Amino acid sequence: MTLAASGRRHARPADTAAPLLDVSELQIELITDAGVVRAVDGVSFRIERGETVTIIGESGSGKSTTAMGVLGLLPADLAVLSGAVRFGGTDVVADPAAIRAVRGRTVSLIPQDPMTALSPVHTIGRQLTEAVRLRRPELPRRAVRERAAELLDQVRIPRPAAQLATYPHQLSGGMLQRVLIAIALAGEPELLVADEPTSALDVTVQAGILDILLELQERTRIGILMITHDLGVARLVSDRIHVMRDGRFVESGEVEAIVEAPANDYTRMLLSAVPRLGPWDEGAAAGGPTSGESR
Amino acid sequence: MALYLLRRVGQSLLTVFLTVSTVFVLIRLAPGDPATAYAGPLATTEELARIRAELGLDRPLPEQFLVFLRGLATGDLGTSYSFQAPALDVVLDRLPFTITLAVAAILLTTAVAVPLGVWMARRADTTRELGANIVTVAGQSMPDFWSGVMLLTFFAVLLPVLPASGFATWGGLVLPATTIAILQIALISRLVRREMAANLTAPYLTVARSRGVSERALVWRYAMGNSAIPVLTALGTRFASMVNGVVVVEVVFAWPGVGSLVVRALETRDYPLIQATVLVTAALAILVQLLIDLAYPLFDPRVRLGKKAAA
């Protein structure tokens, strides 16, 4: 799986010095009431500038745990990490305190459920300007608000300056997810971790959100780690995908290669779970099962 | 908003009126006779009858009630039997003491319970939290007449650093306020802990942490901002009940407030004084509750908009 063969974009040699994110042999054990569960069992992947890497799998496969572990957002007393997670050379597993300098600057999170991801008693302006100030403490108050409105405009929110005064419960899920992307972008990150960013949204809204992310990547060459259970999403946005099951990657490679010729039974099963609609099955028909029904 | 306020004030006046009316009837149904209490155990039957006639107690209950209502309309709540002064004035003279004690107790409660609750929430389910849990359960279990007497024994008798009774100096405020606060701290800190523990694990907090918000801001701005409503409600309700007079504590520390006045009024069957006390404290409690309800929108935007839509 060489980078240059990527379908949508081409990584330039200059970017390959140190990857944005380099995860190697990451293992995450969760302490639960039922005992210790190895949720992530030795996964390795890299993300370069301008590249989207997708981890796809069903619920409980460990994909979200991987994302949260990479960001150091698992509760310290309930999760044990080993292996290495390097952001441009800094290993945050070896030095967990270092993640604080990375979060909101080098890497930002786009959460799964936008409806619960913002504080309900603070305006979106308050939460957005806070993110701007964290990144640019030197900006005067007025410039912070201008920057916040500009970020909302970037994610195509109408009347951005007026929206700053609204509270989360006044906006729809799709609008909130745009706000959350704007907040993530306030940190001017090099990498976005998108944890099922569209799974809580209507299909029509999903497309808009993915469109914003793709356009953003086109413009800024930001790296994206996409977590999803939706093969349609994966196929649309990814350069490479890793199919995850029971804490391991069962298959990794370029998106078209995997969709056209899945080597693993589990991957075939995931592919067959996609409803067969329109031009979708042209590629999948070659190697996938003939039935469009989910199992 | 104006309509809402008008409706609330109307409701409040009705509540106060019903409370006072109920008390008016109940104290007359209860055993005991003001005339006996007034004239002493050696009074003759004729003397008692004369006193009853003087106080208007020989007339039928509905007539007494009408007289009371007529007075109420003009702000005259009768003359206290034992103080020989207008009952309302007697109560209003005592009120500043009770309010001082209530304010001191609620400030002390807030100052201790909120940080303690936050401390426990941040260490939820650890052994160190268990220690704090034991202390707060103990605080909840101590009756105020006992903890009051214990504080008196230690800090006024064995180690005489604080005055034992009355309100001659500000030092006199310490022991009664602490006695009240012990139970309230135990209750409020556990409430703060529960609310904060829920908010500290909420998704929005994780997302805020992911964008580099400091732990301090996460705890005090985000989690506390979202815990404010239930905590504020609890503190307000506690305060409203404190301005009613904390009877036991006021008696233990001979505090010259409304609480100890109630005890004296009941002992002497001083009907006008009992009625005046109930009227004043009920009105005050309802006023405090109204102020808290009006403060909600400052803390929760969802309440604000709901109200706007309703009005």
Angle between helices B144-152 and B174-200 (to 10 degrees): 130
Chain A residues whose beta carbon lies within 8 Å of the beta carbon of residue B195? none
Q: Does residue A56 fall inside a structural domain? A: yes
Whether A13 has a pLDDT exceeding 80, the answer reads no
Angle between helices B258-267 and B87-122 (to 10 degrees): 130
Give me the pLDDT at residue A222, please: 94
Residues A151-162, mean pLDDT to the nearest whole number:
92
What six digits make up the tokens of B259? 């609480």
DSSP 8-state code for residue B86: B
Q: Does residue A39 fall inside a structural domain? A: yes
CA dist A78 → A82, A131, B94, B212, B215 (Å): 14, 28, 56, 21, 18
Chain A residues whose beta carbon lies within 8 Å of the beta carbon of residue B213? 104, 130, 134
How far does chain B reach from its first CA to its final CA, in angstroms?
A: 6
To the nearest whole angstrom, how far is the Cα of B200 from the nearest Cα of chain A?
A: 11
Give me the pLDDT at residue B196, please: 94
For the segment B211-248, what is each residue's pLDDT rounded down to a tens digit?
A: 989 989 999 999 999 998 899 889 988 998 888 768 88
To the nearest whole angstrom, how far is the Cα of B108 from the nearest Cα of chain A?
A: 27
Interchain CB distance below 8 Å, B301 and A131: no
Give me the pLDDT at residue A241, please: 92
Interchain CB distance below 8 Å, A116 and B202: yes
CA dist A105 → A108, A113, A135 (Å): 7, 22, 7
Interchain CB distance below 8 Å, A134 and B222: no
Hey, of A121, A127, A151, A225, which one would you mutate to test binding to chain B, going by the most B CBs within 10 A of its CB? A121
Domain that includes residue A18, residue range: 1-99+223-295
Instruction: Say if B204 is an interface residue toward chain A (CB within 8 Å).
Output: yes
Q: Does residue B10 fall inside a structural domain? A: no
Chain A residues whose beta carbon lies within 8 Å of the beta carbon of residue B129? none
Closest residue in B to A195 (Cα–Cα)? B207
DSSP per residue over B234-245, as a string?
A: HHHHHHHHHHT-
CA dist A135 → A128, B27, B211 (Å): 11, 68, 9
Confidence of residue A45 (pLDDT cuts 50, 70, 90): very high
Whether B14 has a pLDDT exceeding 80, the answer reads yes
| Residue of A119, A130, A170 with shortest CB distance to B226 | A119
To the nearest whole angstrom, how far is the Cα of B300 from the nearest Cα of chain A?
A: 6
| Cβ neighbours, 10 Å, residue B39 | 16
User: ipTM higher than 0.90?
Assistant: no
B51 neighbors B39 (Cβ within 8 angstroms): yes
For the segment B142-199, what is each residue's pLDDT rounded down to a tens digit?
A: 888 888 889 888 888 888 878 877 777 788 889 999 999 999 999 999 999 999 999 9
Confidence of residue B209 (pLDDT cuts 50, 70, 90): very high
What six digits make up the tokens of A133? 């100030």
Instruction: Say if A169 is an interface residue toward chain B (CB within 8 Å).
Output: yes
- Residues near A258 by beta carbon (within 8 Å), at least 6 away in sequence: A241, A243, A251, A267
How far does chain A reach from its first CA to its final CA, in angstroms?
A: 30
Confidence of residue A278 (pLDDT cuts 50, 70, 90): low
Q: Does residue A152 fall inside a structural domain? A: no
Interchain CB distance below 8 Å, B211 and A123: no
Q: What is the CATH number of the domain that holds A233?
A: 3.40.50.300
Q: Does residue A216 fall inside a structural domain? A: no
A87 neighbors A107 (Cβ within 8 angstroms): yes
A–B: how many Cβ contacts below 8 A?
73
Closest residue in A to B203 (Cα–Cα)? A117
Please name the amino acid found at residue A167. Y
- Residues near B200 by beta carbon (within 8 Å), at least 6 away in sequence: B121, B122, B124, B218, B219, B223
Instruction: Say if B207 is an interface residue toward chain A (CB within 8 Å).
Output: yes
Q: What is the CATH number of the domain that holds B131?
A: 1.10.3720.10
Question: Which of A185, A215, A194, A260 is CA-nearest to residue A47?
Answer: A194
Interchain CB distance below 8 Å, A187 and B212: yes
Interchain CB distance below 8 Å, B211 and A120: no
Give me the pLDDT at residue A172, please: 92
Instruction: Say if A108 is an interface residue toward chain B (CB within 8 Å).
Output: yes
Helix (H, G, I), strand (E, B) or coil at A55: strand
Chain B residues whose beta carbon lies within 8 Å of the beta carbon of residue A117? 203-204, 207
Q: Does residue B305 fall inside a structural domain? A: yes
Closest residue in B to A135 (Cα–Cα)? B212
Confidence of residue B116 (pLDDT cuts 50, 70, 90): very high
Measured distance CA(B240)–CA(A270) in Å, rounded: 61
Instruction: Say if B308 is an interface residue toward chain A (CB within 8 Å).
Output: no
CA dist B281 → B13, B116, B250 (Å): 13, 31, 15
B302 neighbors B309 (Cβ within 8 angstroms): no
Q: Does residue A293 fall inside a structural domain? A: yes
Measured distance CA(A54)–CA(A51) in Å, rounded: 10
Q: Does residue B299 fall inside a structural domain? A: yes
What six digits make up the tokens of A180? 């959350």
What six digits make up the tokens of A22? 């380099």
Give me the pLDDT at residue B197, please: 92
B257 neighbors B101 (Cβ within 8 angstroms): yes
Q: Does residue B116 fall inside a structural domain? A: yes
> To the nearest whole percent, how much of chain B has pLDDT over 70?
97
Cα angle B170-B173-B174, degrees, rounded to a multiple of 5: 105
Q: Does residue B74 fall inside a structural domain? A: no
Domains: count for chain A: 1
Can you list the pairs that B300-303 forms with residues at least 24 positions away whose Cβ atoms lie under 8 Å?
Answer: B300/A121, B300/B228, B300/B229, B301/A120, B301/A121, B301/A123, B301/A167, B301/A169, B302/A120, B302/A167, B302/A169
Q: Does residue A121 fall inside a structural domain? A: no
To the nearest whole angstrom, how far is the Cα of B294 from the nearest Cα of chain A?
A: 17
Q: Which residue has the tokens 């605080």?
A: B139
Interchain CB distance below 8 Å, B299 and A121: yes
- Residues near B10 by beta carbon (within 8 Å), at least 6 away in sequence: none
Interchain CB distance below 8 Å, B228 and A121: yes
Whether B130 has a pLDDT exceeding 50, the answer reads yes
Instruction: Say if A122 is an interface residue toward chain B (CB within 8 Å).
Output: yes
Q: Does residue B55 fall inside a structural domain? A: no
What is the CB-side half-sphere exposure of residue A175 using CA atoms within 13 A?
14
Residue B94, Cα to own-chain centre: how many angstroms? 14
Angle between helices B174-200 and B127-141 (to 10 degrees): 140
Measured distance CA(A102)–CA(A90) in Å, rounded: 9
Domain that includes residue B254, residue range: 96-269+286-310
Q: Does residue A66 fall inside a structural domain? A: yes
Instruction: Say if B299 is an interface residue toward chain A (CB within 8 Å).
Output: yes
| Residue of B204, B211, B302 with shortest CB distance to A119 | B204
Domains: count for chain B: 1
Interchain CB distance below 8 Å, B211 and A183: yes
Q: Does residue A89 fall inside a structural domain? A: yes
Residue A2, Cα to own-chain centre: how many angstroms? 21
Whether A28 has a pLDDT exceeding 50, the answer reads yes
Residues A43-71, mean pLDDT to the nearest whole number:
92
Instruction: Say if A124 is an interface residue toward chain B (CB within 8 Å).
Output: no
What six digits make up the tokens of B127? 């052994």
- Residues near A271 by beta carbon (within 8 Å), at least 6 away in sequence: A231, A259, A262, A284, A288, A289
Tell me the whole-structure pTM to 2 decimals. Answer: 0.79
